[in-house]
Structure 1
Amino acid sequence: MHELVYFGRSLPWIFIDTFGMFKQYKIQGNKVPSLREQWDCAKFVLLSHFTVELPQIWLFHPLAQFCGLSTSIPFPTLWTMAYQIAIFFVMEDTWHYFSHRALHWGPLYKAIHKIHHQYSAPFGLAAEYASPIEVMILGFGTIGCPIVWCAMTGELHILTMYIWIVLRLFQAIDAHSGYEFPWSLHHFLPFWAGADHHDLHHEKFIGNYASSFRWWDYCLDTDYTPEALKRRRENKATVSKAQ
Structure 2
Amino acid sequence: MATNATFSAPQLFETLYGATDLAALNWFEKQWVAWYIWIGNPVIATGLMSFLLHEFVYFGRCIPWIIIDAIPYFRRWKLQPNKIPTPKEQWECTKQVLFSHFTIELPAIWLFHPMAESIGMATYQVPFPDWRTMLPQVAFCFVFEDFFHYVAHQALHYGPLYKHIHKIHHKYSAPFGLAAEYAHPAEVFILGTGTIAGPLLYCFFFGNLHIVTVYIWITLRLFQAIDSHSGYDFPWSLQHIVPFWSGAEHHDFHHMAFTNNFSTSFRWCDRLFGTDTKYQEYRARVKAMKTKGANKEDFQRMEKKLMEEVEKEGQIAEREVENGVKAKKQ
Cα distance in 2 for residues equivalent to 1:46 and 1:68: 31
Aligned to 1:15: 67
Q: Amino acid of the residue matched to residue 120 of structure 2? A: G
Cα distance in 1 for residues equivalent to 2:102 and 2:75: 34
Cα distance in 2 for residues equivalent to 1:219 and 1:6: 31
Of 77, 82, 89, which residue of structure 2 is paired with 1:37? 89
- The answer to whether structure 1 residue 65 and structure 2 residue 112 are counterparts is no
Q: 4+ residue stretches of structure 1 with deviation over 6 A? A: none
For 1:79-94, what aligned pairs fall within 5 Å after superposition? Answer: 79-94=132-147
For 1:178-197, what aligned pairs fall within 5 Å after superposition? Answer: 178-197=231-250
Contact 1:68–1:150, Cα closer than 8 Å, also in 2: yes
Contact 2:231–2:252, Cα closer than 8 Å, also in 1: yes
Cα distance in 2 for residues equivalent to 1:54 and 1:225: 38
Of 201, 204, 210, which residue of structure 2 is paired with 1:157? 210
Q: Give 1:19 deviation, angstroms.
A: 2.5
Secondary structure at the counterpart of residue 72 of structure 2: coil
Instruction: Give deviations 1:139-160, integer Å, cap 9, x for gaps.
Output: 0111121111111111210110
Q: Give 1:230 deviation, angstroms.
A: 7.9
TM-score normalised by length of structure 1: 0.92
- The answer to whether structure 1 residue 143 and structure 2 residue 167 are counterparts is no
Aligned to 1:205: 258
Q: Amino acid of the residue matched to residue 144 of structure 2? A: M
- The answer to whether structure 1 residue 130 and structure 2 residue 183 are counterparts is yes
Q: Give 1:74 deviation, angstroms.
A: 2.5
Q: Give 1:111 deviation, angstroms.
A: 1.2
Structure 2: tracts of 5 or more residues without a match: 1-52, 285-330
Of 127, 152, 163, which residue of structure 2 is paired with 1:74? 127
| RMSD of aligned residue pairs (Cα, Å) | 1.3
Cα distance in 1 for residues equivalent to 2:277 and 2:229: 16
Query: How many percent of aligned residue pairs carry the same amino acid?
Result: 60
Q: Amino acid of the residue matched to residue 196 of structure 1? A: E
Contact 1:208–1:224, Cα closer than 8 Å, also in 2: no
- Higher alpha-carbon Rg: 2
Instruction: Give deviations 1:37-79, integer Å, cap 9, x for gaps.
Output: 0011011101110011000001011000011001212311111
The total of aligned residue pairs comes to 231
Q: Give 1:92 deviation, angstroms.
A: 0.3
TM-score normalised by length of structure 2: 0.68
Cα distance in 2 for residues equivalent to 1:52 and 1:212: 23
Instruction: Give deviations 1:89-142, integer Å, cap 9, x for gaps.
Output: 000000000000110011111011000000000000000000011000000111
Q: Amino acid of the residue matched to residue 141 of structure 2? A: F
Of 47, 52, 64, which residue of structure 1 is paired with 2:99? 47
Residue range with higher mean Cα deviation, 160-169 or 12-21: 12-21
Q: Give 1:82 deviation, angstroms.
A: 1.2
Aligned to 2:78: 26
Contact 2:260–2:279, Cα closer than 8 Å, also in 1: no
Contact 2:75–2:81, Cα closer than 8 Å, also in 1: yes
Cα distance in 1 for residues equivalent to 2:237 and 2:182: 23
Residue range with higher mean Cα deviation, 17-26 or 162-171: 17-26
Structure 1: tracts of 5 or more residues without a match: 232-243
Secondary structure at the counterpart of residue 101 of structure 2: helix
Contact 2:140–2:198, Cα closer than 8 Å, also in 1: no
Of 107, 115, 120, which residue of structure 1 is paired with 2:168? 115
Aligned to 2:150: 97
Secondary structure at the counterpart of residue 91 of structure 2: helix
Secondary structure at the counterpart of residue 22 of structure 1: helix
Aligned to 1:218: 271
Q: Amino acid of the residue matched to residue 56 of structure 2? A: L
Q: Give 1:20 deviation, angstroms.
A: 2.4
Contact 1:200–1:225, Cα closer than 8 Å, also in 2: no
